[in-house]
Structures are given as structure tokens and as C-alpha cells.
Chains A and B, each alone.
Chain A
Amino acid sequence: MPIDFSSVDFIYNRNSPFQYEALHGVTLHLEEGKFIAIVGRTGSGKSTLIQHINALLVPTKGEVRIDDFVNSSDKHKRSKKIKDLRRRVGLVFQFPEYQLFEETVERDVAFGPKNFGLSKEDALAKAHEALGKVGLDSSFYERSPFELSGGEKRKVAIAGILAIAPSILIVDEPTAGLDPAASKDMMALFAKIHAEGTTILLVTHDMDLVASYCDEVVVMENGTVAKQCAPFALFGHDLSEYSLQNPRVYDFAERLKEKGLSIDPTGLRTVEDLAKKIAEAKG
């Protein structure tokens, strides 16, 4: 499902002293099946942008098309089947732990599928499958979500969205506050889901993640799209104006190049890639 923003404006608290324009003239085309990063400083409009894709926010001006669904400022053009859209577009908010409320983990995860019309048994089957994907085994099914650790809670919350089996998955800072090992597991999970054919939109500040996993990057700045390109077309420029940094692997390779090693930083996604290149360069 391709996503198209055409000159979207969004204003919070319109006609009040708290009025604030979060998006201004956003025109953006996102292709199906990609792993797309949305980056930019805090307050640049990333969260507002993704909430339009799920029709949680309605544009003040302009329209967003998600496949055949139209989220428009014009009431008459706006599609009515919001629930159908939300079944196809899963949104995991930042710190999704706070959305847990059921008595047991499996029931919480089955809550989404059940809302979208599955029977209790089917929903539970979906829940077990999703919990398996995030790495929680059957010993967790009957436990209360409130007695789990922070990282486990996050996994349950993400499983709650995966159980809906959306064709577009939007994740807002999924690794915030996790330890490095847990972050790596989390990202490996999204990479796997992407490989199975789900479009992924990742909101992040971490350019290392962008380098390792994404094949397109959208830079937001002051409520507008500053850049949309392949990750390696962005790296190497001074990114401090967007309050971003080049990935560490890229930086490291560049410095080696400055010191005289014949190495091309472009295309180096991970530390392993870098190690291989250094070995090649050294012969």
C-alpha cells in the first residue's frame, strides 16, 4: 500500500492562543514494501506525520492517501472505513507499555485482533503467534502484563500490534530506553517482519539504525520534508542542521580514509561490513 501526502498542513489547537502549526505543506510519496526511516529533531513533526497515516489526525489542509483510503481535510472526500484502515496500518507509539490493560498477556495481545472482528479462538491463536515473534514463550501467556519488566512489557505491546498483522507497520522510537541487546533483538524483529513483506516506517534519532536497516530516509525539519533519499545519499553531509549525526560506522570509515586507507564508506551498513572492507583494503 503506497502512501501519498499532498500539501498537508496540520495545526494543533486552531484559533486559540495555543495554536501551533506542526506540519506545513508536506508532500511525500512512500512506496510499498520499503523499510523507511523518518528522522529529524524533536518537534520537527515526525509524530504528527505518522498519526495522519492512521487517520488519528485529520489534516487541516490537503490530503493523505493510503492505498484507496483518503484522509482529507475535506469532509466529503474523507473515507469512512477508518477501522479497515487501522487493520491495515499498525501504529506502535513511543513507550507503548502504557497501552496494556488486560489481566493476562495473551488477552491483551488478542485485544486488537478481536476488535477487528476475529473470534476469541482465532484472536488467541494470532496472539500466540505474535508473542512467539517477539520472543515471549507460552510461560508468559497467563501472566499479568503489569508484573513484567519494562522490556517485556514493550514486547507485549508490540505483539499487540503485530497480532493485527498490518501491511504497514509504523514504529515510533521502539528502542528508546532499552538496553543494547534488547534494542538489537527488537530491530532484528522488524527486519524479519519487513523481509516477510510488511512496509515499515521507523521514527528514530539513531542514524546507526538508519544505516543498518533502512533503504530510504525522510528528514523532517520545522514541519516540512527537508530531504527524502537513500540513506547513503544523506550521510557524509553535515547533518548538524537537522540535529542529527552520521552513523558511527560511516564516520569511522571516513576517518580511516582521511588517514590514507583506501576505503569507500558508502554502503557500509554494519560493523561487520566495515571489518570486511578494512580486511580487503589491508589485503
Chain B
Amino acid sequence: MSSFAMGRYVPYDSFLHRLDPRAKFFCLVALIVAVFLPFPTWSMTFAMEGLIFLLVAVLLWISRMSLHQLWNSLKSLWFMVVFLLVVYILVPPANPSWPAFTLWGYQIYWDSILESAKIFLRLALMIMISLILTATTKPLDLTAALEWYMAPLKLIGFPTHIVAMTITLALRFIPTILEDVDRIMKAQSSRGVDFEHGHIGAKFKAIISLIVPLFVSSFIRSDELANAMECRGYDPKLKRTRYRLLRFSWGDLANALFVSAVLALFIYVSVTSFDAFKAFWGLVLR
């Protein structure tokens, strides 16, 4: 197992890396919203999702994300696709419009197949967009952005700082815990544990031999961390300052506006049930 984990920050210096985390957070959330908008016809749905896919592909290229890593994270969706396909085929759609073929006397509709394709596409796009966010943003910057967005909640006495600190700590410890996993797996492998093969009972035992030490070391770590923070006078109620201030530039604003425009277009298309193909043929045939 490698300590190179999915969704880890990768320190390149691309345009996306330099973007203000608040702007980036907004843009990527807006894109995810756009992905999940409903569209009137199948052709429109796939055309619009395809547009986002193109945009995401460009972003992936800019962020220099390793395609190998991306493939690994998408691979796990396979099972889900098959599962969806089976469920959608067994449960016929509410208004079947487009029969495909019959399988052993069972009517299968294109609607079912397209529906599962749509869900797969949406999930894949969502995962890609989230990976872009985490791969190009330092965890600290990401939480700073979250805290900034939560600022209005301070008015009703919501402890935004404590939540932000909790998220920071959680993100901070992901690589450390993965290192622990690696260490413990190696130590248990030396004792003859096989984490990859073996029947279900042996596998269960293997997992136990990993989980128990992991829990123990995590508790020890959190205890030590709490002590270390208290020794340095950490008090969640005090007002804190930041060493690195976030600066929102004109470029960040331009990006946020561009993505807002894209989102607005998508919402417009979705709400008005605008069918570009029909409109196009209408123009051609007139």
C-alpha cells in the first residue's frame, strides 16, 4: 500500500492552485449544482452534462492531476453502476417512452439504461470536481474558506471557529493515520497476516489486527494533541488571528463571475425546459 492517498493535496503551482480558496470553493460547488440540475429530454441532459465534462476535463488538465489516481477513484464506482443498471432494469420506469429490446420475455426500456448512465455520469463528475478541489487546495486554506462562508452563523452564536478547528485537525490527521495504517499493516504482515487473500474468517481477523492498534494509537495521539494545545494556551473562546491572510483578487472575482454565469445558464435551461435541439431543428427547417 502506498501512503499516496486519494484526495490528497498535491503541491504543484498551477492556476487552480493559486486561485483563492473561497472563490474555488464557490466555483466547484456551483459546478456540482449544475451537474445535478434536471433537464427536459435525454439529448439535452447528455449535452449539458457533456459540456460540464469538457469543463472538468480542462480543469483536470490545468490541475495536473494524475489520471492514474483519478482512474483508481472512479474504478470503485463500477459496482454501483452494475447495481443501478440491475435495479433500473428490474423496476420499469414510471413513464416508459422508448422500448429497447426484450430479454427472455422481459421488456427493457432505453429509459432505464440511460437513467443509470446519467446517475453514473453525475457521480463521476461530482467525484472529479471534489478531487480537483482537494488536490489543489491546502487543507488549511480549505478550512479557512469554510470558516469564511460560515461567518454569518456567528451572529446566532454558532461556534464557527471551533468547527473550523475540528475540520482542520481532522484533515491534518488523515495522512498521519494513513501512515499508521501502513506501519501497522506491515507489522502484522510480518506476523503472517495476509490482508489480500484468505477466507472471510481470516480476513475478519486481519482487519481486527489492524483496527484495534489503529484505535489505540489514534486515542493516544488525540490525547497528546489536546495536551500540546493546552500547554500552548489554546482557548477556543479567544479571538484568533491568522498568519496567512487570504486575498481576494480581481482574477478570483472574474472566475467566480464566469462560473456564476455558467450556473445561471444551466439553471435557465433547466427551469424553462429549453430544448436546444428542437430549437435548432426549428431554425433549420423553417
- The residues of A with any CB-CB pair to B shorter than 8 Å are 12-13, 15-18, 51, 54, 56, 83, 86-87, 90-93, 96, 98-101, 111-112, 115-116, 146, 160-161, 164
Report which of B4, B192, B193, B194 forms a contact with A13, defined as CB distance below 8 A.
B4
* Known contacts A51-B186, A91-B190, A115-B192; A98 and B217 CB within 8 A of each other: yes
* Known contacts A93-B186, A99-B213, A101-B209; A112 and B66 CB within 8 A of each other: no
When distances are taken between beta carbons in the complex, the residues of chain B under 8 Å from A90 are 190
Whether B12 and A115, one on each chain, are in contact in the complex, defined by CB atoms closer than 8 angstroms, is no
CB-defined A-B contacts under 8 Å, sample of 30: A12-B3, A13-B4, A15-B66, A17-B12, A18-B4, A54-B189, A56-B186, A83-B192, A83-B194, A86-B189, A86-B192, A87-B192, A92-B190, A93-B183, A93-B187, A96-B187, A98-B184, A98-B216, A99-B188, A99-B191, A100-B213, A101-B213, A111-B191, A111-B209, A115-B193, A146-B216, A160-B191, A161-B190, A161-B191, A164-B191
* Known contacts A13-B2, A98-B187; A112 and B192 CB within 8 A of each other: yes
* Known contacts A13-B2, A83-B192, A115-B192; A101 and B212 CB within 8 A of each other: yes
When distances are taken between beta carbons in the complex, the residues of chain A under 8 Å from B93 are none
- B1-58 CB contacts (< 8 Å) to partner A: 2-4, 10-12
Whether B261 sits at the interface, judged by CB under 8 Å, is no
Report which of A87, A92, A98, A160 forms a contact with B213, defined as CB distance below 8 A.
A98
In angstroms, Cα B82 to Cα A207, docked, is 61
In angstroms, Cα B186 to Cα A160, docked, is 14
**Cβ of A166 to closest chain B Cβ, rounded Å:** 9
When distances are taken between beta carbons in the complex, the residues of chain A under 8 Å from B2 are 12-13
Whether B151 sits at the interface, judged by CB under 8 Å, is no
When distances are taken between beta carbons in the complex, the residues of chain B under 8 Å from A98 are 180, 183-184, 187, 213, 216-217
Interface residue tally on B, bucketed by range:
20 to 34
Whether B74 sits at the interface, judged by CB under 8 Å, is no
When distances are taken between beta carbons in the complex, the residues of chain A under 8 Å from B4 are 13, 16, 18
Whether B80 sits at the interface, judged by CB under 8 Å, is no
Whether A16 and B66, one on each chain, are in contact in the complex, defined by CB atoms closer than 8 angstroms, is yes
Chain B residue at smallest Cβ distance from A163: B191
Chain B residue at smallest Cβ distance from A157: B187
Report which of A17, A93, A96, A101 forms a contact with B11, defined as CB distance below 8 A.
A17
Total residue contacts A-B, CB cutoff 8 A = 68
When distances are taken between beta carbons in the complex, the residues of chain B under 8 Å from A12 are 2-3
When distances are taken between beta carbons in the complex, the residues of chain B under 8 Å from A15 are 66
Report which of B188, B192, B208 forms a contact with A116, defined as CB distance below 8 A.
B192
* Known contacts A93-B187, A98-B184, A98-B187; A16 and B192 CB within 8 A of each other: no
Chain B residue at smallest Cβ distance from A57: B186
In angstroms, Cα B191 to Cα A112, docked, is 5
- B165-207 CB contacts (< 8 Å) to partner A: 180, 183-184, 186-194
When distances are taken between beta carbons in the complex, the residues of chain B under 8 Å from A91 are 190
**Cβ of A198 to closest chain B Cβ, rounded Å:** 15
Most chain A CB atoms below 10 A, which of B184, B192, B217: B192
Whether B10 and A16, one on each chain, are in contact in the complex, defined by CB atoms closer than 8 angstroms, is yes
When distances are taken between beta carbons in the complex, the residues of chain A under 8 Å from B183 are 93, 98
Chain A residue at smallest Cβ distance from B3: A13
When distances are taken between beta carbons in the complex, the residues of chain B under 8 Å from A161 are 190-191
Interface contacts beyond A18-B4, A98-B183, A116-B192: sample of 8 additional A-B pairs, CB < 8 Å, sorted by A: A54-B190, A86-B189, A86-B192, A98-B216, A101-B209, A101-B213, A101-B216, A164-B191
**Cβ of A119 to closest chain B Cβ, rounded Å:** 15
**Cβ of B211 to closest chain A Cβ, rounded Å:** 8
Chain B residue at smallest Cβ distance from A101: B212
Report which of B11, B66, B187, B191 forms a contact with A115, defined as CB distance below 8 A.
B191
Whether B189 and A99, one on each chain, are in contact in the complex, defined by CB atoms closer than 8 angstroms, is no
Top 9 nearest A-B pairs (CB, nearest first) are A115-B192, A101-B212, A99-B187, A112-B191, A91-B190, A116-B192, A56-B186, A98-B213, A13-B4
